[in-house]
Structure 1
């Protein structure tokens, strides 16, 4: 079994300002995450976040030793959160199986051993979205259902951003070292996410857009507030956001997204809001 890992170096704001569209995509966009029968990981030097897609087909896929971490086992000095956005599947952790339905997750604490992934039906495979950050202590492994998520309702129809933020890996739901993970759903007719915009220099963030029709696109805005850029994303594409960058977007149709953060603190509300007049 082969685990494919790509590495993304840190990109500064001055560098991003000089990049063309392909250059921005090379630095920030993660494409082709979910391939049947494969494990695909991206190791970002932004807070050492690892972003991955695992699609078990006829058998079990295992993440154990990943050379890029410099440790004997993947979770030796890391924690992970796994969200299923496909058919039913099983994540095996430390000899225990966790059956994940659609939009269910499992948080895995540091040092819990290899991770196994299997689909209940290979014809409707699970799509396991994997997020991992360095950890300094072991927290309890928790199966997180949609009902367990803390729900925060924000926005309005008038602003085209009425949405519900489902906080999965969050201090009010389950303990973690530095990972924060959640899933945002929109009301019909609302297309804008994270607008008005903000930055948070203490933490990086990554978005995975999903639940989109084939022709739907997200216009995702990034960059310093005074030097914004955009990339166009399709279903199941992710985008990395450094602490200096805004991270907001608008969709041409229905979509949802999974957000994840790692960095200095665990405060979801720690953000520096950007006044609309500062956006350029």
Structure 2
């Protein structure tokens, strides 16, 4: 199943009810056994999905009524992160084994299938103007960037999988941030990516834990209460920050006008 979300304005978010905010920006129920479920947003034409093969094999759906082509990656590229147990992704007949939190970049034009009992693949695809090589990105091969401090309750490790350096892409950027035990903030103070949409998939939360995801324009922020394996669509006009009630991580993915990773605008605390 593929759900379509339309772009929204900042003023819409400022006056929305909690239910309306969740319907517009929160992505739930991506991961169901034996299914591929997705959400297509008109913000930078990003598509996010969850593929849970269970005991079988799943193909990457084409969703032609939305994408307008016969194969999903005819005009797109794909990022994959395995948020479950070990599994396998086959790209044009070549198998790639992904352990928990390993990544895979798949270039435009490929055919993709998924398998692995216990595996749960998070998928993000974006329009691509060029084709770049399919590349396996084991988490253990990525040198993390240490950020924050225990004193500020925002100590965390940033893993950059596809960000315009070692692995090339046309538009997609994807990586992961892991919050250190005892810290709660994932980014604070927040910032804006005015030329890119970003989607966050929160994961590895305990059943009773939640993340309070802060969104909206500076000076008019709102929040979403997010559970494990739920995602948030963050439009280019929205800040992003959040705090959790327990240990967690999140996969971030971006696409938009450019792929300069440092293209962002800090937001001072007093602006909030």
Deviations 1:102-149 (A, max 9, x none): 11111000011x210001xx3xx1010000000001000000011332
- Alignment equivalent of 2:242, drawn from 205, 230, 249: 249
- 1: distance between equivalents of 2:222 and 2:256? 24
User: Is contact 1:150-1:172 (8 Å) kept?
Assistant: no
User: Is contact 2:62-2:72 (8 Å) kept?
Assistant: yes
- 1: distance between equivalents of 2:199 and 2:154? 19
Can you give the 5+ residue segments of structure 2 that lack an aligned partner in the other structure? none
- Does 1:137 find its partner at 2:134? no
Equivalent position SS for 1:277:
helix
Find the counterpart in structure 2 of residue 110 from structure 1.
Answer: 108
- Alignment equivalent of 1:168, drawn from 137, 146, 161: 161
What is the RMSD of the two structures over their aligned residues, measured on CA atoms? 0.9
Q: For residue 172 of structure 1, report the CA deviation from its aligned partner.
A: 2.2
- 2: distance between equivalents of 1:83 and 1:27? 24
User: Is contact 1:180-1:261 (8 Å) kept?
Assistant: yes
- Does 1:21 find its partner at 2:18? yes
TM-score, normalization by structure 1: 0.95
Equivalent position SS for 2:11:
helix
Q: For residue 266 of structure 1, report the CA deviation from its aligned partner.
A: 1.4
Find the counterpart in structure 2 of residue 231 from structure 1.
Answer: 224
User: Is contact 1:195-1:248 (8 Å) kept?
Assistant: yes
- 2: distance between equivalents of 1:28 and 1:53? 17
Can you give the 5+ residue segments of structure 1 that lack an aligned partner in the other structure? none
Find the counterpart in structure 2 of residue 100 from structure 1.
Answer: 98
- 1: distance between equivalents of 2:143 and 2:174? 11
- 2: distance between equivalents of 1:195 and 1:268? 18
Q: For residue 153 of structure 1, report the CA deviation from its aligned partner.
A: 1.2
Deviations 1:3-50 (A, max 9, x none): x00000001101111110000000000001100111001101010000
Q: For residue 64 of structure 1, report the CA deviation from its aligned partner.
A: 4.2
Equivalent position SS for 1:82:
strand
User: Is contact 2:164-2:261 (8 Å) kept?
Assistant: no
- Alignment equivalent of 2:52, drawn from 50, 55, 59: 55
Q: For residue 57 of structure 1, report the CA deviation from its aligned partner.
A: 1.3
Aligned residues: 271
- Alignment equivalent of 1:87, drawn from 66, 85, 88: 85
Find the counterpart in structure 2 of residue 33 from structure 1.
Answer: 30
- 1: distance between equivalents of 2:176 and 2:199? 12
- Alignment equivalent of 1:187, drawn from 180, 190, 196: 180
Find the counterpart in structure 2 of residue 78 from structure 1.
Answer: 76
- Alignment equivalent of 1:211, drawn from 204, 208, 211: 204
Equivalent position SS for 1:182:
strand
